[in-house]
């Protein structure tokens, strides 16, 4: 049991409630003694709500951690020795690899096996279309082997999946999501370009309940345990592979992907924007870096921006490596829910909004409808950040009109 609690790949444990109340001394002669009977109504309500939130989504979070950790193993196997034939281009010209497909299949299969009694809806990035075309057969064989090797590595699943099973597992991610019921939201590899470069990427998995993100997990196989924004030279820099997990109202934990005790993490508490450091996309095509520079200048930020791929930025922000995440895609780009759902809940002590300060709305289906961009920071810095964002956007429009 002790090992199971430390290892995200262990069998999903039953909920444990660590619940203690100070109970006044009662004479042992009392025959009707019970803690509930001596609590006043408001303490009883608080106790009940504590117990409810501790157990709510407990088994779903454990299943999500296990699914994302196993998918991360598959991705690491592929990244170590990637073949030219492992990479393809999608219709929108973005890359997709056997690891994206394999990760999606593993997460879908593991969630179904770990939560057999729950109805299953998954909103995920990939589909099997290109694998079913001419020439897709060899790729599908390779993915199926990767999936079977990964499931058998775990040691708790006694199954072998067929190519058809893999196609079905990938295509179970076609749900439209929406405002009612529960939906899993998955980016099997967020930051595929980072993955191909050997840099940062994340397996990002979240659960929506009635349109709200209620839990999220980010597996970041290449993220160092120590701070990425301000690396010091301690041994934690040599350890890589972080698993972030968060449940609504319960804060965020981080542990090593290969198993360690989860530690509670917190966003930075800095209040002076000049002390902030800014995270943004590594890929210039994914976010307008000129806007970030202009915002940084208005805030008086001294440090140069830190460019990182994927939702690893949200994880790094959640533990205070940096203070601000700025994301301004080119006009016309539509943000997808799987690119932000897990990240937003993982950065639980902070706030994520669009450029106008509106909360992100995950209840509208596969896309996020939002104003211009996404900004994330702590609660103290958000008002000055939003002012700087509005000024920078206005200035950019005025400058464009002058040209």
Question: Quick one: what does residue 333 bind among Mg ion, ligand A2P, none, with the CB cut-off 5 to 8 Å set by partner type?
Answer: ligand A2P
Task: Choose, from 86, 97, 100, 353, the residue flagged as catalytic.
Answer: 100
Long-range CB contacts (< 8 A, 24+ apart) of 83-86? 85/138, 85/139, 85/142, 86/139, 86/142
Site for Mg ion (CB under 5 A): how many residues? 7
Where in 317-376 is the site for Mg ion (CB under 5 A)?
Answer: 339
Q: Which letter does DSSP use for residue 359 in this model?
A: B
Identify whether the C-beta of residue 151 lies closer than 8 Å to the C-beta of residue 109: yes
Please enumerate in sequence order all residues whose Cβ is within 8 A of that of 155, keeping only pairs 6 or more positions apart, or say none: none
Q: Among 187, 309, 321, 354, which residue sits at the site for Mg ion (rule: CB under 5 A)?
A: 187
Which of these, 69, 110, 54, lies nearest to 247 by C-alpha position?
Answer: 54
Nearer to ligand A2P, 56 or 306 (CB): 306
In the complex, the smallest distance separating the C-beta of residue 200 from ligand A2P, rounded to whole angstroms, is 8
The window from 44-52, 124-132, 327-335, 345-353 that contacts Mg ion (CB under 5 A) reads 124-132
Nearer to ligand A2P, 283 or 361 (CB): 283
Is 150 catalytic? The answer is: no
Nearer to ligand A2P, 247 or 340 (CB): 340
Nearer to Mg ion, 189 or 208 (CB): 189
The window from 31-39, 87-95, 149-157, 240-248 that contacts Mg ion (CB under 5 A) reads 87-95
In the complex, the smallest distance separating the C-beta of residue 97 from ligand A2P, rounded to whole angstroms, is 10
Nearer to Mg ion, 92 or 232 (CB): 92
Identify whether the C-beta of residue 330 lies closer than 8 Å to the C-beta of residue 302: no
Helix (H/G/I), strand (E/B), else coil: 78: helix
Q: Which letter does DSSP use for residue 116 in this model?
A: T
Q: Which letter does DSSP use for residue 275 in this model?
A: G
Nearer to Mg ion, 114 or 125 (CB): 125
Question: Quick one: what does residue 272 bind among ligand A2P, Mg ion, none, with the CB cut-off 5 to 8 Å set by partner type?
Answer: none
Start-to-end Cα distance in the chain: 67
Is 192 catalytic? The answer is: yes
In the complex, the smallest distance separating the C-beta of residue 54 from ligand A2P, rounded to whole angstroms, is 32
Identify whether the C-beta of residue 203 lies closer than 8 Å to the C-beta of residue 218: yes
Instruction: Show the DSSP H helices in 200-329 as ranges.
Output: 289-299, 312-318
Q: Among 114, 171, 190, 309, which residue sits at the site for Mg ion (rule: CB under 5 A)?
A: 190
Helix (H/G/I), strand (E/B), else coil: 219: strand
Q: Among 86, 125, 280, 321, which residue sits at the site for Mg ion (rule: CB under 5 A)?
A: 125
Binding interface with ligand A2P (CB under 6 A)? 94, 125, 187, 190-192, 194, 281-283, 285-286, 309-310, 329, 333, 339
In the complex, the smallest distance separating the C-beta of residue 199 from Mg ion, rounded to whole angstroms, is 14
Task: Choose, from 192, 252, 268, 377, the residue flagged as catalytic.
Answer: 192
Identify whether the C-beta of residue 283 lies closer than 8 Å to the C-beta of residue 271: no
In this structure, the number of other CB atoms found within 10 A of the CB of residue 113 comes to 16
Q: Which residues of 186-212 are buried (b: 16+ CB within 10 A; e: fewer)?
A: bbbbbbbbbbbeebbbbbbbbbbbeee
Question: Quick one: what does residue 354 bind among Mg ion, ligand A2P, none, with the CB cut-off 5 to 8 Å set by partner type?
Answer: none
> Catalytic residue numbers?
100, 192
- Residues of this chain that bind Mg ion (CB under 5 A): 94, 125, 187, 189-190, 192, 339
């Amino acid at each position: 049991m002790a090992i199971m609690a430390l290892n995200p790949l262990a069998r999903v444990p039953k909920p444990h409630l660590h619940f203690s109340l100070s109970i006044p001394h009662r004479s042992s002669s009392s025959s009707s003694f019970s803690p509930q009977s001596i609590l006043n109504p408001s303490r009883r309500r608080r106790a009940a709500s504590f117990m409810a939130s501790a157990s709510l989504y407990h088994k779903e979070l454990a299943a999500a951690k296990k699914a994302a950790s196993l998918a991360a193993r598959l991705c690491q196997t592929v990244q170590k020795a990637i073949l030219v034939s492992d990479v393809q281009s999608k219709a929108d010209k973005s890359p997709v690899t056997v690891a994206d497909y394999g990760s999606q299949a593993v997460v879908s299969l593991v969630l179904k096996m770990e939560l057999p009694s729950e109805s299953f809806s998954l909103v995920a990035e990939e589909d099997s279309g290109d694998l079913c075309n001419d020439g897709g057969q060899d790729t599908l064989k390779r993915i199926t082997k990767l999936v079977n090797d990964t499931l058998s590595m775990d040691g708790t699943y006694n199954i072998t999946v067929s190519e058809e099973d893999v196609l079905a597992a990938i295509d179970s991610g076609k749900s439209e999501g929406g405002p009612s019921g529960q939906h899993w939201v998955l980016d099997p590899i967020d930051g595929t370009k980072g993955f191909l470069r050997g840099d940062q990427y994340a397996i990002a998995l979240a659960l929506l309940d009635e349109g709200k993100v209620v839990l999220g997990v980010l597996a970041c196989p290449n993220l160092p345990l120590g701070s990425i924004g301000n690396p010091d030279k301690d041994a934690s820099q040599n350890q890589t592979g972080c698993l972030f997990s968060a449940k609504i109202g319960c804060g965020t934990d981080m542990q090593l992907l290969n198993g360690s005790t989860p530690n509670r993490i917190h966003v930075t508490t800095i209040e002076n924007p000049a002390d902030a450091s800014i995270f943004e996309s590594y890929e210039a095509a994914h976010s307008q870096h000129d806007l970030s520079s202009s915002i940084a200048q208005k805030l008086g930020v001294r440090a140069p921006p830190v460019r990182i791929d994927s939702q690893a930025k949200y994880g790094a922000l959640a533990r205070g490596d940096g203070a601000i995440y700025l994301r301004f895609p080119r006009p016309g780009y539509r943000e997808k829910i799987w690119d932000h759902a897990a990240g937003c809940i993982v950065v639980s002590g902070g706030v994520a909004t669009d450029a106008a300060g509106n909360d992100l709305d995950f209840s509208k289906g596969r896309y996020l409808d939002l104003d211009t961009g996404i900004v994330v920071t702590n609660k103290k810095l958000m008002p000055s950040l939003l002012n700087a964002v509005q000024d920078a956007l206005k200035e950019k429009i005025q400058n464009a009109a002058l040209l």
